[in-house]
A = this chain, B = another copy of it.
């Protein structure tokens, strides 16, 4: 957990998005509760959101295990998990359009309070981009909705692999025409940084201890000596001299 001196030679900062940049849990609960109240649909949306996120890693593992079925983008995985959860939760009366509205709540997530200000500062000195399991449309719509000032949208979808597969980090370096050591991966998840470091990238950890609400069980702090550890994106900008 020691931080190094100001880091030389970085050209691009790539950000994990769900949890690192946006507060998906609180946003989804608020968005869906408000929508359901107007729409007149009753459900335990908090429990549904937690179960939905719980289906996230298993759904990507399915894609990983069956490459012969082709890559499926995250919007589709979200929709398939949602359909199962609607049944399991016994929610009735939802139309196709309702299901689209619920699924695209992932496009309307709210940034953490420091995110836009920090990114805006960091953008002055570096290429800033996403490196997320979200698909390109999801990330593009989210950036537009939340005012995230990305220079470039990089997504697992472009590489046909989900993080933490090595192909995602290597593919990002190739598209940016940079050496991995010229890229700093920024994430609130230690395992994402470990996978980025394995490919030679620099790493910055920003804890988001509220990401999973009362269910947070890990990532309260850095568990390796990452290149940088910062409290939030503003401190990251301070540390990088922006």
Assess the A75–B177 pair: CB atoms within 8 A. Answer: yes
CA distance A141 to B12 in the complex (A): 11
Q: Does A77 contact B (CB under 8 A)?
A: no
* CB <8 Å contact, B157 and A136: no
The A contact surface, by secondary structure, is helix
Contact, CB under 8 Å: A176 / B127: no
- Return the chain B residue nearest A139 by Cβ: B152
What 1/0 flags go to A103-146 for Cβ under 8 Å of B? 00000000000000000000000010100000111001101100
Q: How far is the CB of A183 from chain B (nearest CB, A)?
A: 12
| A152: contacting residue among B75, B140, B175, B177, CB under 8 A | B140
- A153: B residues at CB distance < 8 A: 151-153
The smallest beta-carbon distance between A103 and chain B, in angstroms, is 11
Q: Is A158 an interface residue (CB 8 A)?
A: yes
Known interface pairs A144-B151, A151-B144, A153-B152; A135-B177 also in contact (CB < 8 Å): yes
Are A127 and B144 touching (Cβ within 8 A)? yes
B136 lies within 8 A of A175 (CB) = yes
How many angstroms between the C-alpha atoms of A157 and B136 in the bound complex? 15
Whether B75 and A137, one on each chain, are in contact in the complex, defined by CB atoms closer than 8 angstroms, is no
With A136-B152, A140-B152, A151-B153 given, can you name 6 additional A-B contacts, CB distance below 8 Å?
Answer: A75-B177, A127-B144, A129-B140, A136-B177, A137-B177, A158-B158
Q: Can you list 27 residue pairs at the A/B interface with Cβ under 8 Å?
A: A73-B177, A75-B177, A127-B140, A127-B141, A127-B144, A129-B140, A135-B175, A135-B177, A136-B152, A136-B175, A136-B176, A136-B177, A137-B175, A137-B176, A137-B177, A137-B178, A140-B151, A140-B152, A140-B176, A143-B151, A144-B151, A151-B153, A152-B153, A153-B153, A157-B175, A158-B158, A158-B175
